[in-house]
Chain A
Amino acid sequence: MSDAPLQIRNFSIIAHIDHGKSTLADRLLQLTKAVSEREAKEQLLDSMDLERERGITIKASAVTVMHEHKGQPFMLNFIDTPGHVDFGYEVSRALKACEGALLVVDAAQGVEAQTVVNAYLAVDQDLEIIPVLNKIDLPAARPDEIAEEVEQVLGLPAEDCIKCSAKTGEGIQELLDAVCEKFPPPREPVMKQTRALIFDAIYDDYRGVVLYCRVFDGRLKVGDKIRMMQMERTFQLTELGKYTPKPTKVKEVGAGEACYVIASIKNLGEVRVGDTITIDHDPAAEPLEGYEPPRQMVFCDFYPATTTEKKGGDFEDMREAVEKLALNDSSFTYQAVHSEALGFGFRCGFLGLLHMDIIQERLEREFDLEIVQTAPTVSYRAIIRGKGGEHVEVEVNNPADLPDMGSVEQIMEPICKLEIMLPKDRIGDVMKLCMDRRGIFKQQHFVSEAREMITFEMPLAELIYDFYDKLKGITSGYGTMDYEIMEFRPDTLVKVDVLINGEPVEALSLITHKLKAEQRGRALLTKLKKQIDRHQFEIPLQAAIGGKIIARETIKAFRKDVTAKCYGGDVSRKRKLLEKQKKGKERMKNVGSVNIPQEAFMAVLDTGE
């Protein structure tokens, strides 16, 4: 390396799933000689099996590599971001640690809804954006057309697009040059006191909490007594280091750099991502601008699929697993709940539906738990009239928590801004789908000869059912979508109660728009009717709003339950069958002397269209 002063570049790669972000990252690392050929075969930045299987990156990590460009030494801090809609929050906090972003677009598939949403996030952070057209080696690649799309949709000049193939390595050198030349250096420190932004934190079984930080002012040194400015807690800094991409310890880190910090922090509850680290004996007066804590938008309950023999034990196993998961995912929240029907479990909050799926899968796979998951709901806000006539706003993460509709003044629901990228010829059907889901049309945008982008405002509650599947169906898989939560808005929302044999079953209640209540209620009862076996008595199923029945079904009584033939050879088989039936019944929940299988509680999951 020459004697020229070290240049620092902090940047992220943002992309739609499968547009080749991880491969591109590895190829960049390889070119800087940070990674061998062999290592480059694996996607280094994704560490969990589940992520690799799903082709998505869940946890951000930061990698530092040294690089020489035109005789000048460069330290490139590459800050990885998750790639899915649910993790928009994490994307934005990773971006806060950067000055630049590579916006990767698949040269065959073009700009996707997610690309747009992520690009907005980068623009919001005033980042320099370099559009990258990846996969130009594909026969179907249309780099010139896609460059036009980038200009049309994102307003980034088509000629600024760097065309490359992470697979073959073509254009990667040019990309690396652009990183060094186009991305600005970190801003100059504004004070001598230390201020470092925590942009991520993970829990490691061996090392405890590992923080990812970007130092903006001053320095961090091993042995410093550091203070978290918002949490007002102090810790002893025991280890500093960088991933190169292997963890490499360093003694100190200066302004403009990214690093990891270990400071004997036992659990993630002791730190807050977005907090500012300063030095205890010489603290900064003001913290850096941080982030809002992550907002859980989708909620559902997890219950152990309990068998009587293991009652209680299952719940304890689940508690342990949930606690462990929460240790390394601070955006996942949980709270112990008890349901009449399903026993003890946890009400969990997620950033979105994918996040929910991932947590559920990890609980089942990594902790070997059998889970009953209730239908997801969004977080509502309700204005309740108190006893003295005063109005109180409450957060409702579970329809069962909503008080009697009589005392509810207003219910507000989260509304998202939804971007959909779709083939032009399907626009009518997609519009209709959006309207049916109470969407408000906002914008239509020309993308290319074949594609359009439309923008809707839509209640999240309408989105979390099978909207994405429906969109994929209508567009033969070509439509993509992404959303951001905008605000809470009031609407004529009602709570629909479900009564089985006259008894309300809280776990089945749902909140829905008044105009859709009857349809939803009816669909739910039809589903329940299929799930619940006949009993020796007739079972009325009812859906009601505040005591008014809006739909009704009846499960007829069975009038016989007897095997015609039971001879010598049938005895064992018959006994086993009856035992099994009985075991099945034990796993069911008894409400008003009706046995309800656990699956029935999933019936609310479907819109029933």
Chain B
Amino acid sequence: MHVIKPSVRGQSLDPQGVETVSPLRHVQSAAHGDAEGPVRSLYVHIPFCSHKCHYCDFYSIVDTQDRQEAFVTRLMAELSALAPLAKGSPLRTIFVGGGTPSLLRVDLWTRLLTSLSEQFDLSEIQLQAPETEFTVECNPESVTPELFDRLVAGGVTRVSMGAQSFHEDTLKRLERLHTPGAVSEAIEAARAAGIGHRSVDLIYAVPGQTTPMWRNDLETALSLPIDHVSAYNLTYEPNTAMTARLARAEFTPTAEEIEIEMFELARDLTTAAGFERYEVSNYARVGAASRHNLAYWRQDQWLAAGPSASGHAAGYRWKNTPRLDSYLGFSDEGLSMVHDVETPDARRALAERLMTGMRLAEGVEADRARADADAICPGLSDELDRVAAEHAASGRLTERRDGTASRWVLTDSGVLFADGVASDFIAAVL
């Protein structure tokens, strides 16, 4: 638990009774400075789930105490504390994730959406101006036409549907509760309600899933009225029930060769359907890439509300307390208790830009990265060029000329080695 002792203003009590102020005050004062531009993105975390899936490492709880109301009240206070960081500028992107945001009661959604429009300038989002997005994550089993209507009225422009698969066996293996048919119904309902952008999440390399099954999942998804697909290779995250089962050899994980085959199949089928891969696991029709997620990958600023939500502003990275109890029990004039915070650091920022940028089809602006590197330490750009040249030689990276600017971009085969390339860049920078 990261706690900074009282230093700025007001005090409040955390559940252990220790006097603290949220370190977010440092972010606040830094972001208030003229040097920092307004924050234009916001992430909101809804921690409730109807079931804790065994592969998932996101923070969520199965709510048995009906704390939704208390949560929304607390969240609204947080939003009002964060709002000044937008400096009156209209927000461009909002992403409500979870957990399962669609599990939040409709009346509470109403309060949340009202609060958002009161605290922030949502004008650009509501006009659906270019580069704007308001996404809500949904699970097919918990959406209703009533909810969609409510979301549309609140300015939501996009839903991301947790489909995962259209095969019962695969869904069962993932402990997902919905039936294969529920996904298309939910997508159809969203469309009918007027939600303009629709995405589905799929997971591949699930134990027991074959390449033909995966092909079928992709084809089914692509037959739906959607403009975006996220296709994730199943990851055995540490500290999940599924990883523990893997360690106990309760099942056989998918072979690497098959994973690669499935990755390539996703790329090929989405491309054939008119989608483009714009990130390691994300495919979109032209103009339909997730603006909010691009903000993460391009190292823009964003605010964070809700337990376990992470933010990035004024060079700080922080993460709210992950526990609902401590989130509800602490408020420093609305600000959350913070679990982890990283203070501004030019090397770290550059390392992160290279890391996330390498995951994007657009790559990293090479000249800007070089300039930033030399500003940290003259000659550091040579190190970046050395790493770039090394990976260019092995065919994983190219330097793409784009008018006068140039970009470092991973090749089609290089994408599968994004971590290795990133780790070499990070090592060169740090």
A557-581 Cβ-contact flags toward B at 8 Å (1 or 0): 0111111111111011011001101
CA distance A564 to B280 in the complex (A): 7
Cβ–Cβ contact A569 & B423, under 8 A: no
Partner of B309, one of A558, A563, A566, A569: A569
Cβ–Cβ contact B235 & A565, under 8 A: yes
B106-149 Cβ-contact flags toward A at 8 Å (1 or 0): 00000000000000000000000000000000000000000000
| B259 partner residues in chain A, CB cutoff 8 A | 560
Partner of A575, one of B232, B309, B355, B416: B355
* A251: Cβ under 8 A from any B Cβ: no
* A536: Cβ under 8 A from any B Cβ: yes
| A574 partner residues in chain B, CB cutoff 8 A | 355
Cβ–Cβ contact A561 & B417, under 8 A: yes
Which residue of chain A lies nearest to B308 when distances are taken between CB atoms in the complex? A569
CA distance A536 to B418 in the complex (A): 12
- Knowing A569-B308, A569-B309, A579-B426, say if A563 contacts B419 (CB, 8 Å): yes
* A582: Cβ under 8 A from any B Cβ: yes
CA distance A569 to B123 in the complex (A): 27
CA distance A568 to B41 in the complex (A): 11
Partner of B416, one of A561, A571, A572: A561
* B422: Cβ under 8 A from any A Cβ: yes
Cβ–Cβ contact B308 & A564, under 8 A: no
A213 to chain B, nearest CB (A): 60
Interface residues on B, range: 35 or more
Cβ–Cβ contact B416 & A578, under 8 A: no
- Knowing A558-B256, A560-B416, A561-B416, say if A568 contacts B422 (CB, 8 Å): no
- Knowing A561-B419, A566-B356, A572-B310, say if A579 contacts B257 (CB, 8 Å): no
CA distance A574 to B357 in the complex (A): 13
Which residue of chain B lies nearest to A537 when distances are taken between CB atoms in the complex? B394
Cβ–Cβ contact A578 & B233, under 8 A: no
A508 to chain B, nearest CB (A): 26
- Knowing A560-B256, A563-B235, A565-B235, say if A571 contacts B420 (CB, 8 Å): no
A56 to chain B, nearest CB (A): 40
Residue of B351, B415, B419 with most partner-chain A CB within 10 A: B419
Which residue of chain B lies nearest to A534 when distances are taken between CB atoms in the complex? B256
CA distance A558 to B420 in the complex (A): 11
| A568 partner residues in chain B, CB cutoff 8 A | 43, 296, 302, 304, 310-312
| B198 partner residues in chain A, CB cutoff 8 A | none
Cβ–Cβ contact A536 & B355, under 8 A: no
CA distance A586 to B256 in the complex (A): 26
B232-264 Cβ-contact flags toward A at 8 Å (1 or 0): 111100000000000000000000110110010
| A567 partner residues in chain B, CB cutoff 8 A | 293, 296
* B286: Cβ under 8 A from any A Cβ: no
Interface residues on A, range: 20 to 34
- Knowing A561-B418, A582-B423, say if A575 contacts B351 (CB, 8 Å): yes
CA distance A579 to B345 in the complex (A): 15
CA distance A177 to B427 in the complex (A): 74
* A-facing residues in B372-430 (Cβ within 8 Å): 394, 415-420, 422-424, 426-427, 430
Partner of A564, one of B233, B309, B351: B233
CA distance A581 to B426 in the complex (A): 11
B111 to chain A, nearest CB (A): 25
| A563 partner residues in chain B, CB cutoff 8 A | 235, 280, 418-419
Partner of B426, one of A558, A565, A582: A582
Residue of B280, B309, B423 with most partner-chain A CB within 10 A: B423
* B281: Cβ under 8 A from any A Cβ: yes
B335-379 Cβ-contact flags toward A at 8 Å (1 or 0): 000001010000010011001100100000000000000000000
* B158: Cβ under 8 A from any A Cβ: no
Cβ–Cβ contact B352 & A560, under 8 A: no
CA distance A560 to B257 in the complex (A): 9
| A561 partner residues in chain B, CB cutoff 8 A | 416-420
CA distance A536 to B260 in the complex (A): 14
Cβ–Cβ contact A575 & B418, under 8 A: no
Which residue of chain B lies nearest to A535 when distances are taken between CB atoms in the complex? B420
B361 to chain A, nearest CB (A): 14
- Knowing A561-B416, A561-B419, say if A578 contacts B359 (CB, 8 Å): no
Residue of B280, B340, B352, B422 with most partner-chain A CB within 10 A: B422
* B319: Cβ under 8 A from any A Cβ: yes
CA distance A575 to B319 in the complex (A): 15
Which residue of chain B lies nearest to A569 when distances are taken between CB atoms in the complex? B310
Residue of B304, B310, B342 with most partner-chain A CB within 10 A: B310
Which residue of chain B lies nearest to A562 when distances are taken between CB atoms in the complex? B418
Residue of A558, A560, A561 with most partner-chain B CB within 10 A: A560
Which residue of chain A lies nearest to B318 when distances are taken between CB atoms in the complex? A572
Which residue of chain A lies nearest to B410 when distances are taken between CB atoms in the complex? A562
* B197: Cβ under 8 A from any A Cβ: no
Cβ–Cβ contact B281 & A565, under 8 A: yes
22 intermolecular pairs with C-beta atoms under 8 Å apart: A560-B259, A560-B417, A561-B418, A562-B280, A562-B419, A563-B419, A564-B234, A565-B232, A567-B293, A568-B304, A571-B317, A572-B319, A575-B352, A575-B426, A578-B355, A578-B422, A578-B426, A579-B351, A579-B423, A579-B426, A579-B427, A582-B424
Q: A: which residues have CB within 8 A of B? A: 536, 558-569, 571-572, 574-575, 578-579, 581-582, 586
| Nearest 6 interchain pairs by C-beta | A569-B310, A560-B416, A578-B423, A582-B427, A564-B233, A568-B296
Q: List 13 other contacts, CB 8 Å, given A565-B281, A568-B302, A575-B426.
A: A559-B416, A560-B260, A563-B280, A563-B418, A564-B235, A564-B280, A567-B293, A567-B296, A568-B312, A569-B319, A571-B310, A571-B317, A582-B427
